[in-house]
Amino acid sequence: MTTYRDFEDLRDNAPAAYKAEIAIDLGHADKERLSELWAATTDGEFRLTLTGAAGRFWERNLRLRETDIPEDHFAVEVVVDSYADPEMGHTIYLDAVAYCGSEEVGEQCWEMLADDDLERDFAAHLVKRVKEFISPHADPTGMDCQVEVVEVSEL
């Protein structure tokens, strides 16, 4: 069995990797409040806690399904981007890349990412986290937040 020294070693040498593209749409009936909420999403602490929550969700769920995965054989890296336009909306984009240290772990990861029920759980989980993470910076009352896993692909 291959052993990986650290995250970079796993990322650079993973025999299987998958990317989940996630869209988080924010809205509010009051455009001024939406601007305040959107400004909160540009905060570095907000983005760090959001990406951490997304990555931990997927890692925790895979390890709950398959308890025999070596610690160094699975990791999730999440990159955040965002786009705001009065006509097109306000969206935070997350690219969650799962690095798998073996083909077997990759198969287990793919099955997890293809689980529609877990995808719905993830969306509900992240909606709660977004509101929680925004609240130190802006009042999320009345905010509409929708989370969707747009696409999952093999890298």
- For the chain, give every domain's residue range: 7-154
Residue 87 has pLDDT above 90, yes or no: no
**Order of strands, edge to edge, in the sheet holding 16-27?**
74-85, 89-100, 16-27, 144-154
- State which H helix or E strand residue 91 sits in: strand 89-100
Instruction: Give the model confidence (pLDDT) of 5-43 as tens digits.
Output: 999 999 999 999 999 999 999 999 999 999 999 999 999
Give pLDDT tens digits for 106-118.
999 999 999 999 9
Structure tokens at 96: 């969650």
21, 151 Cβ separation under 8 angstroms? yes
Domain with residues 7-154, CATH architecture: 2-Layer Sandwich (3.30)
Residue 72: DSSP 8-state: G
In the structure encoding, which two tokens stand for residue 131, read together? 């509101």
Locus of tokens 């929708």 = 146
**Main-chain dihedrals φ then ψ at residue 63, nearest 5 degrees:** -70, -25
- Proportion of the chain in helix, strand, coil states, percent, rounded to 5: 45, 30, 25
